[in-house]
Every structure is written in C-alpha cells, then in structure tokens.
C-alpha cells in the first residue's frame, strides 16, 4: 500500500490514496470540487522502496479534491483574574478544508 507524508498548514500528515483528510484552510480562493496539489512531500513509500526528502522530494506531488469547506466546533477562550472582577469570554471557530486524496506521484 502506497503512502506519503505531506506538509501543509504547519503540520505533517500521513496520507493514502482514497483517504479523506481534515487540514488547515489554505490561502487563496478555493471552492468545493477544486483540485489541490501538495508539492511539499516529505516521504513516499510504495511498499518496496522508501524515498525520504531533504527536506522535500523533488518532483513528488500529492493530488487531492476539495470536498468541504467548513468551521470546527466553537471553543471558548477565557481570560480571568481572581479577586479583581476581570473576566473576558471570547469564542473561536477554526476554519478547515476536508480533502480526498486522489493520487500520489
């Protein structure tokens, strides 16, 4: 089974063909159904040989389809100081992309 390790959004993800992955939102204008190419490939393993990049593999690409653009569940960010009546409550919803891996080349 072929797999690769890609880097996007400051994180590294092991990916296989056909897998659905939740990644950080990418900059630029994208819509659902778009093709996305990840060129920061750190490792490729095809079952027989493993190629490790320094830090990236030249010419290696992972292609994916953008399935969904969404936002995660809300998290509460609370600032609080005891005995001074200071309390600030803010919410945050992190945007994400859900992508399906099409091919590893």
Considering the entire predicted model, what is its pTM? 0.86
Q: 80-103 burial, b for 16+ CB within 10 Å, e for fewer?
A: eeeeeeeeeeeeeeeebbbbebee
Q: What is the pLDDT of residue 51?
A: 95
Q: What is the pLDDT of residue 32?
A: 96
Question: What is the mean predicted confidence (pLDDT) over 43-64?
Answer: 95
């Amino acid at each position: 089974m072929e797999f690769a390790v890609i880097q996007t959004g400051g994180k590294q993800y092991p990916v296989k063909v056909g897998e659905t992955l939740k990644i950080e939102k990418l900059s630029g204008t994208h819509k659902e159904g778009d093709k996305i190419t990840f060129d920061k490939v750190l490792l490729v393993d095809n079952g027989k040989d493993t190629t490790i990049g320094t830090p990236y593999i030249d010419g290696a690409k992972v292609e994916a389809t953008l399935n969904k653009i969404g936002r995660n569940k809300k998290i509460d960010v609370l600032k609080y100081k005891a005995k001074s009546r200071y309390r600030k409550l803010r919410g945050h919803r992190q945007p994400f992309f859900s992508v399906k891996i099409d091919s590893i080349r």
